[in-house]
Amino acid sequence: MSDAAQQSGRPLVFRGGTVLTMDDASTVLTDADVLVVDDRIAAVGPKLDVPEGTQEIDATGGVVMPGMIDTHRHMWQTAMRGYGADWTLTQYFVWYYLEHGKKFRPQDIAAGNRLAAIESLDAGVTTTVDWSHNLHTIDHGEAAVDALRSVPGRFVMAYGNIQAGPWEWSADPAVRSLLERLRDAGDDMMGVQMAFDVTGDPAFPEKAAFEVARDLGIPVTTHAGVWGATNDDGIRLMHENGFMTPETTYVHASTLTRDSYQRIAATGGSISVATESECSAGQGHAPTEQVLQYGIPVSLSMDTSVWWSGDMFSAMRATLNADRMAEHMEAHLKGDTITHLRLRAQQVVEWTTRGGAHALGRDDLGSLQPGKKADVVLIKNDASPVSFPLLNPYGHVAFQAQRGDVHTVLVDGRVVKSDGKLVGIDLAPVRSEIENTIEYLRGACGEEVWQQGMFPQMPEAEAAILDNPYQYTDYVDEGKRAGGEDRVLGR
């Protein structure tokens, strides 16, 4: 750290901001202060008395809010930022799952993770779940963890491996040992989950992986309700076998029926809505109507920078837009007009702060209240014509602000971004390790394949891919695409 104030461990106070506490009462304070002492929020309120020597940050004209939380990001894919901008989900599966994912070396996973981790901090995302599903050797796993640890953010290593069945990689003693090490470290900067999907194969081969997770006491995160890939059968198998726990995260949960949403609601797990992804890739419509209807806890996520950005402003904006588009369209088809929107800016700000904290079982995150961890973001940009007037603070965060307006970021009480610039992070070596990875992948693919990769063609076994991209077994479910209306509409 180059920041002198932090080295001396001085307390720090944000002065005179609009404070979104995100507490149970949704308290918003204007012209208020937030005092941080060590790694905790010490006080929130107007004109606070602070200890002598406290560092002051002028928050006037800005919004002070909890650090944002992304509950599902394939951070390794940031090594190929923007490459798949025009992909469908099928093209993504073809490139990473079937053809080129295995080319990634441990240092390539690390390069993507490091860049994604830095990107998170820059955007005020203080906690990011690394849905790390290309760890096809333990060396890849170790490299992924080391890269995250090299960046002063809060992360959750969600360990996975698309190149093998979950029952296979989770049985590897080296993987188990790494998971135990992460679990037992008691490091609140690095959580651990297991990341795998349930194909719906009636033989339920994923059962063994769930048993490992249960034995180890590690939560599972799973892509559920993904059109053509996972559906109600996976949810039902999990439920019937007792693996739907409150700690479980269901990512997307788009193409499911009422039956599955009821099972999720009844068992207390949460849904990670990745709307920008769902709008573009084809998993199904973001299930915002369903989470509201069934009272399911919800967080937001960005999924992957191979298509999209890694900032939660985009997540909030996309989520409001998609929900409102659906609500309007449904009404218009009946000749009706929506006069009051069901999903409000306040809700998406909640989902990206306290919603994420709840999903991770981290009630010490996600709100600005005395005693909570000091993960804090100041949105303020006096040079920007978009910074005023600040009339509706939730609306301002969701629709007006962007990552360039993230002025100050604290993680665990430590300043990682100050006055709009990352602190103590040198991008030059990060840039060169990314360049090394791109040069290697490009060479390994060959230039023609690399160029075509932005618009991959279906390989020979086309039908099988459309039915089930998770080709761990020979199981093919004809129902994955059939009878879609109920699943599309979540009925």
Q: How far is CA 174 from the centre of its chain?
A: 26
Residue 303 or 433: the one with the smaller Cβ distance to Zn ion is: 303
Q: Of the two residues 163 and 367, which places its CB atom closer to Zn ion in the complex? A: 163
Count residues contacting Zn ion (CB under 5 A)?
1
CB of 404 to Zn ion, least distance (A): 26
Smallest distance, Zn ion to C-beta of residue 87, A: 13
Give me the residues paired with residue 156 across strands: 129, 191
Separation of alpha carbons 4 and 34, rounded Å: 20
> Which residues lie below 8 Å from residue 433, measured CB to CB, with a gap of 6+?
107, 110, 111, 114
CB 411 within 8 A of CB 441: no
- Nearer to Zn ion (CB atom), residue 122 or residue 197: 197
| Candidate segments 34-42, 46-54, 299-307, 374-382, binder of Zn ion by CB under 5 A | 299-307
Q: Which residues contact 236 (CB under 8 A, 6 or more apart)?
A: 259, 260, 263
Nearer to Zn ion, 18 or 301 (CB): 301
Name the segment binding Zn ion (CB under 5 A); options: 195-203, 229-237, 256-264, 301-309.
301-309
Nearer to Zn ion by Cβ, of 195 and 374: the residue is 195
Q: Which stretch binds Zn ion (CB under 5 A): 63-71, 98-106, 303-311, 480-488?
A: 303-311
Residue with tokens 């799952």: 97
Instruction: Choose between 305 and 347: whose C-beta lies nearer to Zn ion.
Output: 305
Query: Minimum Å distance from CB 277 to Zn ion?
Result: 7
| Shortest CB 42 distance to Zn ion, Å | 37
**Going along 311-446, which residue ranges are E strands?**
376-379, 406-411, 414-418, 421-422
Residue nearest to Zn ion (CB): 303
397-to-107, 277, 373 alpha-carbon distances in Å: 36, 20, 21
Shortest gap between Cβ of 330 and Zn ion (angstroms)?
27
CA atoms within 13 A on the CB side of 39: 9
Q: How far is the CB of 304 from Zn ion (least distance, A)?
A: 7
Q: Which is nearer to Zn ion, 130 or 433 (CB)?
A: 130
* HEC sequence for 231-272: CHHHHHHHHHCCCCCCCCEEEECCCCCHHHHHHHHHHCCEEE
Q: Which stretch binds Zn ion (CB under 5 A): 53-61, 147-155, 297-305, 417-425?
A: 297-305
Residues 262-281 that bind Zn ion (CB under 5 A): none
- Binding segment for Zn ion among 152-160, 185-193, 302-310, 445-453 (CB under 5 A)? 302-310
Stretch that binds Zn ion, among 85-93, 173-181, 193-201, 296-304 (CB under 5 A): 296-304
Of the pair 232, 303, the CB lying nearest Zn ion is at: 303
How far is Cα of residue 200 from the mean position of the Cα atoms in its chain?
24
Taking the complex as a whole, the smallest distance from the CB of residue 422 to Zn ion amounts, in Å, to 26
Helix (H, G, I), strand (E, B) or coil at 390: coil
303 or 311: whose CB is closer to Zn ion? 303
Of 92-100, 257-265, 288-296, 300-308, the window that binds Zn ion (rule: CB under 5 A) is 300-308
Residue 16 vs 219, nearer CB to Zn ion: 219
- Residue 436, classed as helix, strand or coil, is helix
**Minimum CB distance to Zn ion, residue 229 (Å):** 11
x-or-dash string of contact with Zn ion, 71-110, rule CB under 5 A? ----------------------------------------
Distance CA 326, CA 305 (A): 25
d(CA 44, CA 48): 8
Q: How far is the CB of 131 from Zn ion (least distance, A)?
A: 6
Listed in sequence order, the DSSP H helices in 160-231 are: 166-169, 173-184, 207-216
Q: Across the chain, which distance is largest between two alpha carbons, in Å?
A: 71
Per DSSP, the three-state class of 59 is coil
Can you give the binding site for Zn ion, defined by CB under 5 A? Answer: 303
